[in-house]
Amino acid sequence: MEKETTSKPKKEWLKFGIILALYLLFLLWVRSWLGLLVIPFIYDLYISKKIKWTWWKTSPNPIVRGVMSWIDPLLFALVAVYFVNLFFFQNYVIPSSSLEKSLLVGDYLYVSKVSYGPRTPQTPLHMPLTQNVLPFFNTKSYIEYPQWEYKRAKGLGNVALNDIVVFNFPAGDTVALGMPAEDIYRLSYHVGKELTQPIDFTALTPYQQREAYGIIMDIGRKYIHSHPTEFGQIVSRPVDRRDNYVKRCVGLPGQTLEIKNRAIYLDGVLNKDPEQVQYRYWVYTTGELPVELCHELGISKEDLTSYFPKENAYNMPLTKAAKQALLARKDLVKRIDLVEETTEERVYPLNQNTGWTTDNYGPIWIPAKGKSIKLTIENIAIYERPIVAYEGNKLDVTERGIFINGKPADSYTFRMDYYWMMGDNRHNSADSRFWGFVPEDHIVGKPIFVWLSLDPDRDWFNGHIRWNRFFKWVDNIK
């Protein structure tokens, strides 16, 4: 009996030593020394035992003991899940068709934060396991202050070309809650454009274009703010509380990207399209396409919504394989034409008339950490948002020149790396072509595999579960 009593403290010291060593290694990894404040509590848990962590076990009230015996492990499990979700991995579901047919609506992804390194929480006061809205209450799930500086732990690697990446929506810094999926800046432009007289921007100088676009955007913003019943409340969100998006990285820091007739070139070299890339086509048919054929070819109900009975034509996205399969059905399909691009849908940057479109875009240099670019009135619109919104500078552009933080500037050195993200459903994806660069501090993680896939077009007894996609490795989706 005496031997057991004397050996017990040694075991507790051993447990304490192991836990402390692991905890210190974790703090070293995430570079968060504020966590040292937790060490006295770890010491008390194993050695001093001054705090009655399991006080409820000695309670004379059996109801308290019964209730707490359930709450205690549940609370521990929630803390553990939150910790893992914050630093190691989280689940993500594909909500829209922007990456189809590489990833499908209803795919549930295991997203690794270790792949690129987890970020230290920038908004520490938030409700665990929520992004920006509390379920059921429809209110903010976080408090803006304090805001911690951006730090990222060492990861297994860096974002690589053609990686599929989860990131915080860059244009989600300001949101109209009545239209949370809309980019507030493009929304302001389109609203302002409806309220102003048409302007021939081609007849204006770059500076005059900038001024005119600024007026349009300001009119649109004021209208949106003054019509909360139509657009909802306008709120701002910190970086890590913005909505999560998933796209493919098609441009890395320091590369020059150009899109020519839908093909992406990096530094003049063609970057091959993913196998499942989609473009939008006019499909002229003899009638409505059979549902089973559409399901076989991966054509969703959403894809079939743009049907024009008078012309017997669909306006739909198709992969190369689906297009060839439809053309082979002479009994159903007369011909298939690529949808002609238009310049009506303005692309990034909104405040300059570049003449670029979604299919013919750039060239545009992607900023890299520590690299500088010469600033001119012709390119300032492209790099204004990284300089101001992402790196926190004050920018003024006047007829006398460009001023950063009150000083004349003819160049700028970037403090972060930036990426160019696009969806594989190229004609149905709001991506970098519309809202620009993705800063490194917005990167969340890398999807590793699909662990569940549910087809929203089918019921539970007719293919709702896509068994063939279970544990499909995302890196194998090219």
| pLDDT tens per residue, range 346-398 | 899 988 888 899 999 999 999 999 999 999 999 999 999 999 999 999 999 98
Does the pLDDT value for residue 5 go beyond 50?
Answer: no
Does the pLDDT value for residue 231 go beyond 60?
Answer: yes
Position 403 scores a pLDDT of 96
Cα gap 155→131, rounded to integer Å = 22
Position 107 scores a pLDDT of 94
Position 478 scores a pLDDT of 65
Q: What is the mean pLDDT of residues 145-164?
A: 94
Position 344 scores a pLDDT of 56
Q: What is the mean pLDDT of residues 70-82?
A: 89
Nearest residue to 180 via CA among 149, 218, 208, 140 = 140
Position 7 scores a pLDDT of 55
Provide the mean pLDDT of the chain: 91
Which of 62-71, 152-161, 406-415, 429-438 shows the lowest mean pLDDT across its residues? Answer: 62-71
Does the pLDDT value for residue 2 go beyond 70?
Answer: no
pTM of the model: 0.92
Q: What is the mean pLDDT of residues 126-144?
A: 88
